[in-house]
Amino acid sequence: MAASDIMAENFAPARWLSWPRSPIRIVDWNIDRGLQLRSIVDFLGDSNADVFVLQEVDVNARRTHRLNIAQEIARKLRLNYVFGREFVELTQGSKTSPAYHGQATLSRWKISNSRIIHFKRQSDFWEPRWYKPKLQTFQERLGGRIALAAEISIQGVSIISYNLHLESRSNDELRIAQLNEVLLDSGVYDSAQLVVVAGDLNLNASKSAIADVLARAGFRDVVPTSRVPTTPARHVLEAGRHIDWAFVRGPVEADAGKVHRSVRGSDHYPISFELCSRSGGTS
């Protein structure tokens, strides 16, 4: 993807180092396009997090009132943000006023070095075809799944954040291939660098084959989503899916991992966690 597929704006006031440093709090959430924007903003504002890793974020789509959802959240909560375009939503915009869909990473702190990993392996499910019904289920699109990478400097600590949305219309083999692209990319950073991989993986990462891939790359699970579903039940035979995950690599301890099952702003539940250095601070 070209650099134009990234949007970024700064709305956060300047922040200074504080001592003692507090834990770094991170929220990950598939916000279902931002359809329930007021509820989304209320939860994110109340969470008092340092970083927000959001998937399914609309820009200029009919269904979300032509808003730039990441910008709306950033303005209201006085955050900086970067948005990575995943798809052009053909049924939600027009040739002269296109609609986009993708991932957004927001923070009270400086965001820099943002870039997109456009996965090499993709499903062709979303491609426009003449015989497809013009229904929301098929939502014709141009583009493909991505990871949005960014560097965030928090109280003097550098975090490399990977914001993922793996393919929903395929199998785990394809999703693992996409995940492996992110893990390979993260390999350029040494063991002292704090790296966070989070997002909607559309798979259960507690399965041994997937957990082994992550462990070999040095990542550990920081939210108990293998035990608590991250989506509501879709029918009486399903308790919910375990598809939203967060992993960390680096010289930190993770704490307070939680699935917020009381929050109703999306068809996914938010997950959150805190990071502290092993010596008790965040540096």
Domain boundaries, the chain: 3-11+22-122+137-277
Superfamily of domain covering 3-11+22-122+137-277: Endonuclease/exonuclease/phosphatase (3.60.10.10)
CB 93 within 8 A of CB 83: no
Q: How far apart are CA 280 and CA 131, in angstroms?
A: 59
Q: How far apart are CA 91 and CA 214, in angstroms?
A: 37
pLDDT confidence band for 132 (50 / 70 / 90): low
CB 162 within 8 A of CB 148: yes
pLDDT confidence band for 1 (50 / 70 / 90): very low
Interval 117-137 mean pLDDT:
76
Q: How far apart are CA 152 and CA 51, in angstroms?
A: 8
Strands (DSSP E) along the chain, which ranges? 6-10, 24-33, 51-59, 80-89, 100-107, 110-118, 141-143, 146-154, 157-165, 194-200, 220-221, 244-249, 252-259, 271-277
Model confidence pLDDT, tens digit, residues 170-229 = 899 999 999 999 999 999 999 999 999 999 999 999 999 999 999 999 999 999 899 999
Structure tokens at 96: 């002269």
Q: Give the list of residues 6+ apart from residue 27 with CB closer than 8 angstroms, or none.
A: 44, 47, 49, 51, 52, 53, 270, 271, 272
Question: How high is the pLDDT of residue 220?
Answer: 97
More confident site: 116 or 130: 116
User: Torsions phi, psi of 161, nearest 5?
Assistant: -110, 130
Which DSSP helix (H) or strand (E) runs through 40?
helix 37-47
Residue 3, pLDDT > 70, answer no
Instruction: Provide the β-strand partners of residue 152.
Output: 111, 159
Q: Please, what is the Cα angle at 226 between 225 and 231, to 5 degrees?
A: 50
Strand order in the sheet with 146-154: 110-118, 146-154, 157-165, 194-200, 244-249, 220-221
- Residue 142: how many CB atoms within 10 A of its CB? 12
For 42-46, 204-208, 279-283, which range has the lowest pLDDT when averaged over its residues?
A: 279-283
Question: How high is the pLDDT of residue 282?
Answer: 52
- If you search the block for the tokens 């990950």, which residue do you land on? 28
Instruction: Name the residue among 48, 66, 59 with its Cα closest to residue 82.
Output: 59
CB 77 within 8 A of CB 45: yes
**What percent of the chain has a predicted confidence (pLDDT) above 90?**
82
Instruction: Name the residue among 251, 257, 246 with its Cα closest to residue 277.
Output: 251
Question: How high is the pLDDT of residue 128?
Answer: 76
Q: How far apart are the first and last CA of the chain?
A: 34
CB 205 within 8 A of CB 214: yes
Residue 168, amino acid: S
